[in-house]
Amino acid sequence: MLRLTWVQPEDLLGHELRQAAEDGREPWTVAARWRAAGGPEAPARAGASPRPASRYLRQLAEDLLDELADLPSRLAEDEPTDLAAIRRHTPQAPDLATRPRPAAPAPAALEASWLGRAAGCLLGKPVEKLPLDAIRRLARSTGNWPLDSYFTARGVPAPLLAEHPWNRRSAGTSLAENIDGMPEDDDLNYPLLNLLLLRRHGRDFTTTDVAGLWLDELPAGRTFTAERIAYRNLLSGIEPPRTARHRNPFREWIGALIRADVHGWTNPGDPAAAAAQAHRDATLTHTANGVYAAMFTAATLATAATGRHDIHTCLHTGLTVIPPRSRLARAITHAVELAEVHPDFDTVVDELHTVHKATHWVHAVPNTALIAAALTHANGDFTGSVCRAVSGGWDTDSNGATAGSIAGLLAGDPTALPDRWTAPLKNRLATSVAGFDGTGFDTLAHLTHREASRP
């Protein structure tokens, strides 16, 4: 039997039980019923359990998913998803709507940000899904710790590789010895899709426009977690924003965050507008903290896009657009404080892993906190930021990509990024998004500049 990841009810139920506990519901009675029936725990690292469930268990999982969705949350007041409610929680957010729009970032700055996103993603791809200790041991075995360049298999002891093999999807394209341009990755596909979104619909696009674009241009097999659930929901006739909520235990994971860059790039100096744009995109697939992660990232990039602020101001501004009592805001604040206090970043990472040990490795809260800590600790330096973000584990390629995008934008020019990161990319991106396969990062920068310059 085909075991399709991220959609089978018996695999979703365990994730939803964890999500319910995290977002302030009381799922214990439902959990007891599931376990008494012999229901499995959620798959630990991937999206499907190895064996199919009985028809009874599958039907029970569907019923329990719906029952869990009806449970009230004690955090609902502090963590709304509606944009108007979010804005009531964030009166300190800057609103520049009445001021002249600042000039778009120079194409060179946008190219540096695109390159930074690609290089950071590529750095993290071979070690995605590996535990923190494995990442450290693999890097140390080749003298690449603290992390300072792409991972390599050359010199890694065979027993260590047998114990902790590279990510199987990425080993052939993302180790230093075999990089040949930027391989396809969803962390780059979504910015491409959002370029198309703005070209077709402008900044006033709706969430329904996002959905339509996905159905036209995004292969279903290139979606994961919350995006795959929302895609399935669309095909079942469910409309946004219910697509984000219906049987979607991944709605606070990292997927919306990795779609946020274009919204920041195209709203220079207007973090509130960037956050609102990211919100309309994110609510197709996410709720609450999953949406906030995208808004925070877009606002941070919009601030960086002016070329007038350091990383600390950018991150602080990003925090102003999300509810201050949310789990995400508290996690980012804590992570930044750790990074400001501890000179050894491993100490910061160890503390973050202790605090967030019960949270899934793809969840938006710990990953966004790690990105903020990495950028703070490196003071926005490109190499320091991407290496710290990836060395902290969890969703390594997504964290490296976002840290690289922000740090690259702050660097302001491709020549400011070390050649060891950019030369292997060969100014070439692979993707299944139609019309973009083989496109150069310089071309993407000019396309982005065009959208950022629209009135």
Conformational region of residue 381, where left means phi above 0, alpha means psi within -120 to 50, and beta covers everything else: beta
Q: Would the annotation count 395 as a binding residue?
A: yes
How many Cα atoms sit within 13 Å of 300 on the Cβ side? 34
Location of structure tokens 């399709």: 4
DSSP state of 392: T
Report helix, strand or coil for 313. Answer: helix
Residues 203 and 277: beta-carbon distance below 8 Å: yes
Instruction: Label residue 244 left, alpha or beta by phi (over 0 means left) and psi (-120 to 50 means alpha).
Output: alpha
Q: How far apart are CA 261 and CA 259, in angstroms?
A: 6
Query: Annotation-wise, does 398 bind a ligand?
Result: yes
Rounded Cα gap, residues 419 and 331, in angstroms: 34
3-class secondary structure, 429: strand
Query: Where do we find the tokens 């990003």?
Result: 318
Q: Which amino acid is at 411?
A: A
Q: What is the C-alpha separation between 158 and 170, in angstroms, rounded?
A: 18
The answer to whether 397 is a known ligand-binding residue is yes
Q: For residues 440 and 110, is the Cβ–Cβ distance under 8 A?
A: no
Structure tokens at 261: 């860059």
Kindly list the distances between the CA atom of residue 451 and the CA atoms of 110, 142, 301, 411, 433, in Å, as whole numbers in the listed order. 12, 43, 15, 21, 18
Binding-site residue numbers for Mg(2+) are 395, 397-398
Annotated binding site: 395, 397-398
